[in-house]
Amino acid sequence: MTSLLPRALATLLCVAVLSACTTGAAGPVAESPASIAPRPPLAELDVLENPRDYRGPSTAVLETASITPVAEAPAQQLPTTVVSRDLAGDVVVTVDDTSRILPLDIAGSIASTVFALGFGDSVVGRDISTTFPEAADLPVVTSSGHAINSESVLALRPSIVITDGTIGPTDVVVQLRDAGVTVIYVDAEPGLGAPAELARQVAAALGAPETGEVLATQLDAEVDAVVDEIAALAPTDAADRVRILFLYLRGASRIYYLFGEESGADELIEGVGGIDVAGEIGWQGLRPMTDEALIAADPDLILVMTDGLESVGGVEGLLAAKPAIGLTRAGENRRFVDMADGEILSFGPRTPLMLDALARAIYAPDS
């Protein structure tokens, strides 16, 4: 069964787009590795003695935004037959041409996976969330935020489109298929296991399952390693662990959603050694924030997307718009950690780097 959570997030973003009348400009491309100073390992950080008591906001930044492929020339077996996890149900599709690949999703995870598999040279376009340096020169085919521009797509003559249903509209995707483009839907449940599963599904669609297994194994090992490193930083006593809540917000659209269990945010919070307070109060999936739920959760720290925080005028603007946040420990201490929209909760090949960056912002914000 396909996951509804990514599609629910897509709905939120579409509402935000329509309300805010955003343009189709591409998101900023991340810095290249050469422009970012090397960081000390997590084990060498001067961590906070009491991370629950820290006051003030901080930003989580990836050490490098680049994608390193696991293979330079992945072996392929084409044609290949795969299961496309379409919105209306599973469909068996034959793929015989991957020379012009167009990966599309709301977080840029599919594109980063294609590049990590070693097929970057075959990618012909990108969505606005695909902002890593290797994709910088590719034409953007999404307009009005995350909506697919069918004319832009067809002009690129893609041989295969790989998506997950998080951007659309669906009618446009159907139009592409009717025009003779092979369309494959992938579906990986959000969470720390998603990068490996996405690697396997995308690789299968490209006729390179062996390379997909190599990447999946590598990502699982890297995620496990960084989670273990973070565990060494985090307090061992549960009473001292940081109580964290993920808040999705778009100020112009007046959208304020709490992400609860099975949203991926719960696994992310646990991965960085925190306590998922939404889970404590039984919050499931993505649901509109209520003052009662927020106060009951009483987080020490609130995770937000950078653009979302900016959309409400920063920390002070958020507290003015939602006074109930100020009644929580996080609000009183102005304790917010923001991260770029295309990085946090993306659950692609950069997930280990995402966890590392969040850990630094939570446990060593002044380092």
Residue 15 within any structural domain of the chain: no
**Same domain for 271 and 201:** no
d(CA 105, CA 10): 9
CB atoms within 10 A of CB 117: 23
- Tens of pLDDT, residues 34-64: 445 678 999 999 999 999 999 999 999 998 8
**Same domain for 201 and 322:** no
**Same domain for 184 and 86:** yes
Structural domain for 60, as ranges: 42-66+234-363
Q: Which one of 190, 217, 244 terminates a domain?
A: 217
Residue 105, beta-bridge partner list: none
pTM for the whole structure:
0.89
Positions of the chain with pLDDT lower than 70, given as ranges = 1-37, 143-146
**Same domain for 299 and 276:** yes
Residue 154 within any structural domain of the chain: yes
Of 219, 222, 193, whose CA–CA distance to 230 is shortest? 222
Residue 31 within any structural domain of the chain: no
Report pLDDT for 18. 38
**Same domain for 145 and 48:** no
Residue with tokens 């490209």, as numbered in its chain: 206
Locate 20 and state its tokens: 């805010």
d(CA 201, CA 310): 35
CATH number at 288 reads 3.40.50.1980
- Counted domains in the chain: 2
Report pLDDT for 283. 81
Instruction: Print burial letters for 199-234: b (CB count within 10 Å at least 16), e (below 16).
Output: bbbbbbbbbbbebbebbbebbbebbeebbebbeebb
**Same domain for 92 and 56:** no
**Same domain for 115 and 163:** yes
The number of angstroms, rounded, from the C-alpha of 349 to the middle of its chain's C-alpha atoms is: 10
Residue 195 within any structural domain of the chain: yes
**Same domain for 46 and 89:** no
Residue 270 within any structural domain of the chain: yes
**Same domain for 240 and 193:** no
**Same domain for 209 and 86:** yes
Q: Note whether 345 and 13 are within 8 A (CB).
A: no
**Same domain for 115 and 58:** no
What are the residue ranges of helices labelled H in the chain?
A: 5-20, 109-117, 150-155, 170-178, 194-205, 209-233, 265-271, 277-280, 291-297, 306-311, 314-321, 329-332, 351-363
d(CA 259, CA 35): 33
Report pLDDT for 107. 85
**Same domain for 186 and 60:** no
Residue 14 within any structural domain of the chain: no
